[in-house]
């Protein structure tokens, strides 16, 4: 008989914790002085709450706080325990960050070295009735990483610190979009479990489809307190109105129970069907486990074809065109995240038309809340194992930790319907081939054993229903360059780093799993942390919040011939945000025009983890940048785009729905000037099958301008889908500086701004946060031909008397 009792040792459970600096470069007076702590939490957030440090995100505080990552920290609590007659007691720590020594009542329980796994310590006989003292002492993470490097040797890595020496979130040490705030702390729940007989150790319910039947294969791992004294155990699984059970003898390690549901409701990614989820309850005597599953099958097709190697994710035998984004930890201090913040950020992806998020390998295996929301909203999850942009030792010290964390992660996450891909690493295979690692490695193993042997073996054993990729990018053949656009998945980073964004058209990628372009965050977000006077792109604090190598120089270079260089800081902000949006929209429209050769794009990146100039579509304060609105347009279910093909212009149409797209398309060549005269016009019908694409050549009457500098194409379908084409860049385009008027109408929850165009008004954008940081707007990057109007809806703020530059902007302002 199980008799499981739990004593919650988190702050929310009533435990009172303190933290103090043990030794290191802490300020005078802090060594040995106890500060109130929150568990789960991190030392930075504890010190911030106690008023011991300024906000790490503000100004140039980040560098002033680097001492935290080089200081040893001790977390301590005293709790009372009442003997309950059970045979066994265990301390369960769901997450310790990272190199820690755990002591109870003066007795060392063990040492940890992995943020990405949980730990269970036997405290039977150490735990006493009455008061107990628990101490968790953490090494400074930067110091610990450097110490491992000194002992084991150096493996190549990006960025400043040797993050690849520890099993800790890589980006916590700083990245080209994130702050260097290497944390320590009890970052997930911690508790005492007291039990007898048998308990559930883990549950791995794998839900699949066989025809119209749902099949749930539930793997239950059992733990026994005392095999000799225990009796038989009965394991029961309830799902979808069915119950299956089995009785096992003492000492049985694992049990497999198969349940079937006839005519099951099938789970689909968003845009392809509904997302029904089934409650699952597993009981072992009086211990129980609860979760949810969705019945679906996922495959990835990488079988060579005449064009190379495809990468096609299919769900329930239906190919999915991926419209996705890369996901980084949503806050540099991840313990501040919760179910509400996850839902808000994932809703940003859904509202932009996305159907996949890639959990990037420099972050964490996310919390259950993240995957639960993805299950509910139909967002597929591509889950990296946690290796990024570095070589990794394969010595036993690290190998055993990687195996333990991977087994736990696959066991925990395999139940989720949204889980579509396990991926071995981010850019490490590419790095070995091309980033100059071979000389410093001098023949030492560098991680291939993980990606090509250990991890695929664990996935095959524990989650055979989910496909595995060795890396991103990867060509699915060891003899082909891992970042070849003809094969598998590709990262495109020469755009942004070196060349103009028109270079996207140089490639014909089968699947793009990373590509991006930078832009600043919202004005209110930027100025909340950057206080340079005067504000300048190259100001001291501005550069603290620009982590990319030569990032602001690349913003300037990236303007190319597309937009003029800014005249002042307001124009810098608008110009670079606009250029970011245009660059990514350019790429995605081109990729979609290649369908079915191209089967998806995963932009870098959806979110930020602090206020920063970055590749994100949504900034660190949750404000949607112009890029987000561009993504919403180019990730729409139905897309029209004008593309150059062999010295001609075509209208490419991609119908990513289950319905035939039948509509009439009108292409007008118009004047950019006042009145917007229609100079030529052609109309044609399109009928595109479900999940299909078509290309229509444009006749010379519209495709050939009389004056390229003062004409443009407006493509408008009868169903409202639109596209535009310009024969020259904005630096040559004749745009009126008085092309529109604006009126403001107060509303109960904010106000409306209606803009009416008298000439071509290109890329209209409203930035109400410049008036009130709480204000949000529903639309952006709206192009209006003469005679057209658009209403921006603003919420969260009172109506101003008027709006103009820099609140209401357009490309017209810049040229």
Calpha distance 720→54 (Å, rounded): 51
660: left (phi over 0), alpha (psi -120 to 50) or beta: beta
- What is the spatial distance between Cα 531 and Cα 510, in angstroms, rounded to a whole number? 44
Number of CB atoms found within 10 A of residue 526's CB: 21
Q: Kindly give the pairing relationship between strand 287-293 and strand 278-284.
A: antiparallel
Nearest residue to 472 (alpha-carbon basis) of 565, 362, 379, 333: 362
Identify the helix (H) or strand (E) that includes residue 668.
strand 661-671
Tell me if 134 sits within 8 A of 141, measured CB to CB. Answer: no
Measured in degrees and rounded to the nearest 5, phi and psi for residue 114 equal -155, 110
H or E, element range at 141:
helix 141-152
Strands, sheet with 107-113, edge to edge from the N-terminal-most edge strand: 35-37, 17-23, 72-81, 130-138, 99-104, 107-113
Residue 229: the pLDDT is 67
**Highest CATH level, class, for 638-726:** mainly beta
Residue ranges of the chain whose pLDDT lies below 50: none
Q: Please, are residues 501 and 518 in contact by the beta-carbon 8 Å criterion?
A: no
Contact assessment for residue 574 and residue 765, using Cβ atoms and an 8 Å cutoff: yes
Going by C-alpha positions, the residue among 517, 524, 613 that lies closest to residue 563 is: 517
Per the structure block, which two tokens stand in for 375? 């299950």
Core vs surface per residue 341-371: b (16+ CB within 10 A) or e:
ebbebbebbbebbbbbbbbbbbbbbbbebbb
> Which residues neighbour 524 within 8 Å (Cβ) at sequence distance 6 or greater?
621, 623, 769, 770, 773
- Per the structure block, which two tokens stand in for 77? 């609590």
* CA distance linking residue 54 with residue 34, whole number of Å: 18
Q: How far apart are CA 473 and CA 539, in angstroms?
A: 36
User: Do β-strands 380-384 and 711-717 pair in parallel, antiparallel, or remain unpaired?
Assistant: unpaired
* DSSP label at residue 773: T
Topology classification of domain 740-814: Immunoglobulin-like (2.60.40)
> What is the spatial distance between Cα 42 and Cα 46, in angstroms, rounded to a whole number?
6
Q: How far apart are CA 231 and CA 648, in angstroms?
A: 79
Measured CA to CA, the distance from residue 143 to residue 164 in angstroms comes to 13
Residue 143 CB-density burial (10 A; 0-12 exposed, 13-18 middle, 19+ buried): middle
CA–CA separation, 37 and 22 (whole Å): 15
Task: Identify the DSSP state of 147.
Answer: H
DSSP-derived letter for residue 464 is T
DSSP 693-750: EEEEEPPHHHHS-SSGGGEEEEEEETTS-EEEEESS-TTTS---TT-EEEEEEEETTE
Tokens 């045979």 sit at which residue?
Answer: 87
Quick one: pLDDT at residue 226? 83
What is the predicted pLDDT for the residue at 483? 98
Q: Where in the chain is the domain with CATH 2.60.40.10?
A: 197-293, 638-726
Rg of the Cα trace of the chain?
28
Distance of alpha carbon 786 from alpha carbon 183, whole angstroms: 55
Contact of 811 with 763, CB cutoff 8 Å: yes
Are the CB atoms for 724 and 714 separated by under 8 Å?
yes
Give the architecture (CATH level 2) of 197-293: Sandwich (2.60)
Say what the pTM is.
0.97
Q: How buried is residue 793: exposed, middle or buried, by Cβ count under 10 Å (0-12/13-18/19+)?
A: middle
In angstroms, the CA 807 to CA 815 distance is 17
Could you tell me where in the chain the CATH 3.20.20.80 domains are found?
Answer: 323-634
Distances (CA, A) of 505 to 77, 486, 594, 605, 806: 59, 14, 10, 21, 33
Instruction: Give 323-634's CATH code, choosing from 3.40.50.720, 3.20.20.80, 3.30.1330.80, 2.40.30.10.
Output: 3.20.20.80
DSSP 565: P
Partner residues linked to 641 by β-bridges: 652
Distances, alpha carbon 277 to alpha carbons 173, 214, 272, in Å: 38, 12, 16
CATH architecture group of domain 5-193: Sandwich (2.60)
What pLDDT is recorded for position 2? 52
Beta bridge partners of 692: 655
Backbone angles phi, psi at 235, to 5 degrees: -110, 130
User: Ramachandran region of residue 600, left (φ > 0), alpha (ψ -120 to 50) or beta?
Assistant: left
What pLDDT does residue 235 have?
96
Render pLDDT for 314-326 as a digit per residue (tens, 0 to 9). 999 999 999 999 9
**How confident is the model at residue 552, as a pLDDT?**
96
């Amino acid at each position: 008989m199980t008799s499981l009792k739990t004593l919650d040792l988190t702050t929310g459970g009533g435990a009172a914790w303190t933290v103090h600096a043990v030794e290191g470069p802490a300020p005078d007076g802090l060594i040995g002085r106890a500060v109130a702590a929150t568990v789960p939490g991190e030392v930075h957030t504890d010190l911030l709450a106690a008023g011991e440090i300024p906000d790490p995100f503000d100004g140039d505080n980040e560098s002033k706080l680097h001492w935290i990552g080089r200081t040893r920290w001790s977390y301590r609590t005293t709790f009372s325990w009442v003997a309950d007659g059970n045979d066994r007691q265990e301390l369960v720590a769901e997450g310790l960050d990272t190199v820690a020594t755990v002591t109870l009542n003066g007795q060392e329980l063990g040492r940890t070295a992995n943020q990405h796994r949980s730990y269970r310590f036997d405290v039977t006989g150490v735990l006493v009735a009455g008061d107990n003292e628990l101490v968790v002492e953490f090494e400074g993470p930067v110091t610990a990483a450097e110490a491992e490097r000194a002992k084991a040797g150096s493996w190549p890595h990006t960025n400043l610190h040797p993050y690849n020496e520890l099993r800790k979130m890589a980006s916590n040490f700083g990245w080209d979009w994130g702050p260097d705030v290497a944390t320590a702390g009890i970052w997930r729940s911690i508790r005492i479990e007291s039990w007898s007989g048998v308990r559930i150790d883990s549950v791995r319910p794998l839900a699949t489809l066989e025809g119209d039947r749902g099949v749930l294969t539930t793997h239950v791992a059992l733990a026994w307190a005392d095999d000799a004294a225990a009796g038989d155990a009965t394991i029961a699984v309830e799902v979808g109105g069915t119950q299956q059970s089995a009785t096992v003898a003492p000492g049985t390690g694992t049990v497999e129970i198969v349940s079937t549901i006839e005519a099951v409701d099938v789970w689909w990614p968003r845009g392809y069907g509904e997302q029904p989820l089934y409650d699952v309850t597993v009981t072992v005597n009086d211990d129980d486990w609860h979760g949810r599953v969705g019945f679906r099958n996922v495959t990835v097709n990488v079988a060579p074809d005449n064009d190379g190697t495809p990468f096609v994710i299919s769900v329930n035998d239906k190919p999915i065109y991926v419209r996705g984004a890369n996901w980084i930890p949503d806050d540099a201090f991840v313990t501040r995240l919760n179910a509400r913040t996850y839902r808000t950020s994932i809703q940003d992806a859904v509202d932009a038309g996305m159907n996949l998020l890639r959990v990037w390998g420099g972050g964490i295996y996310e919390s259950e809340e993240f995957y639960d929301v993805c299950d509910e909203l139909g967002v597929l999850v591509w889950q990296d194992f946690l290796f990024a942009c570095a070589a990794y030792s394969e010595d036993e010290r690290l190998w055993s930790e990687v195996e333990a964390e991977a087994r736990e992660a696959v066991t925990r996450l395999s139940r989720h319907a949204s889980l579509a891909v396990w991926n071995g690493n981010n850019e490490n295979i590419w790095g070995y081939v091309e980033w100059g690692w071979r000389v410093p490695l001098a023949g030492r193993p560098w991680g291939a054993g993980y990606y090509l042997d250990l991890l695929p073996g664990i996935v095959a054993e524990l989650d055979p229903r989910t496909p595995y990729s060795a890396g991103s990018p990867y060509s699915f053949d060891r003899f082909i360059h891992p970042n070849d656009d003809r094969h598998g998945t590709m990262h495109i980073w020469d755009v942004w780093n070196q060349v103009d964004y028109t270079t996207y058209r140089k490639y014909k990628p089968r699947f793009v799993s990373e590509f991006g372009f930078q832009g600043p965050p919202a004005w209110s977000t930027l100025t909340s942390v950057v206080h340079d006077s005067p504000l300048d792109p190259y100001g001291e604090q501005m550069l603290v919040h620009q982590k990319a190598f030569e990032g602001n120089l690349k913003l300037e270079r990236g303007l190319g011939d597309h937009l003029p260089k800014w005249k002042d800081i307001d124009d810098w902000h608008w110009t670079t945000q606009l250029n970011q949006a245009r660059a990514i929209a350019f790429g995605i429209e081109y990729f979609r025009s290649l369908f079915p050769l191209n089967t998806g794009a995963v932009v870098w990146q959806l979110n930020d983890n602090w206020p920063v100039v970055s590749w994100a579509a949504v900034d660190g304060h949750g404000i949607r940048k112009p890029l987000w609105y561009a993504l919403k347009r180019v990730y729409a279910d139905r897309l029209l785009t004008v593309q150059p093909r062999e010295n001609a212009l075509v209208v490419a149409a991609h119908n990513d729905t289950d319905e035939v797209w039948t509509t009439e398309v009108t292409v007008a060549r118009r004047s950019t000037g006042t009145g917007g005269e229609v100079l030529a016009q052609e109309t044609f019908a399109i009928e595109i099958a479900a999940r299909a694409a078509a290309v229509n050549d444009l006749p010379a009457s519209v495709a050939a301008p009389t004056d390229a500098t003062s004409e443009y194409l407006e493509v408008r379908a009868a169903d409202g889908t639109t596209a535009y084409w310009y024969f020259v860049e904005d630096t040559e385009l004749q745009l009126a500086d008085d092309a529109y008027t604006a009126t403001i109408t107060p509303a109960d929850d904010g106000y409306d701004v209606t803009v009416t165009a008298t000439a071509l008004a290109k890329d209209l954008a409203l930035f109400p946060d410049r008036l009130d940081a709480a204000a949000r707007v529903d639309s952006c990057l709206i192009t209006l031909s003469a005679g057209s109007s658009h209403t921006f809806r603003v919420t969260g703020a009172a109506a101003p008397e008027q709006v103009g530059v820099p609140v209401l902007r357009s490309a017209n302002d810049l040229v």
